[in-house]
Amino acid sequence: GFGANYLSILFTNPLFEQVDWGFTSDFRAMTKNPSGVWPFVVKASAGVSEMTISWEGEDYLFDNAWLVDEYSGETIKAVVGESYTFEIEDGEHHFRFEVGKD
């Protein structure tokens, strides 16, 4: 088994609630001391210029968790209840989510 802890990336949008397929999700099994690097791309429809990423879950899972904005080079500490807002240009923005790295 994979245990009860996992990392989940949820892409929520009010429109998704109006269609049958809900929202998209990508999850990876995690251990009590999670570690790994997950590159991901945020894509937006035409006309969307700003987006926000936020974190939810057990605090201990984020003890050593960071979001790396690959465009700006900024490293953001992932903290439950906080968020990171960014400009999205050309329809996409690249990130890495890093957990357990020194």
Q: Give the pLDDT confidence of 41-98 residue by residue, as tens digits.
A: 888 878 888 888 888 878 887 888 999 999 999 999 999 989 999 998 888 899 999 9
Q: How does pLDDT run across 6-18, given as a tens digit for each residue?
A: 455 665 555 555 5
The answer to whether 68 and 2 have CB atoms below 8 angstroms apart is no
Find the helix or strand (DSSP H, E) in which 7 lies: strand 6-11
Q: What is the pLDDT of residue 31?
A: 61
Residues 60 and 78: their CA atoms lie apart, in Å, by 11
pLDDT at 24 over 60: no
Q: What is the pLDDT of residue 63?
A: 86
Residues 24 and 84: their CA atoms lie apart, in Å, by 20
Residues 64 and 87: their CA atoms lie apart, in Å, by 25
Q: What is the pLDDT of residue 1?
A: 37
More confident residue, 66 or 37: 66
Q: What is the pLDDT of residue 70?
A: 94
Q: What is the pLDDT of residue 4?
A: 45
User: What count of other Cβ atoms lies within 10 Å of the Cβ of residue 95?
Assistant: 19
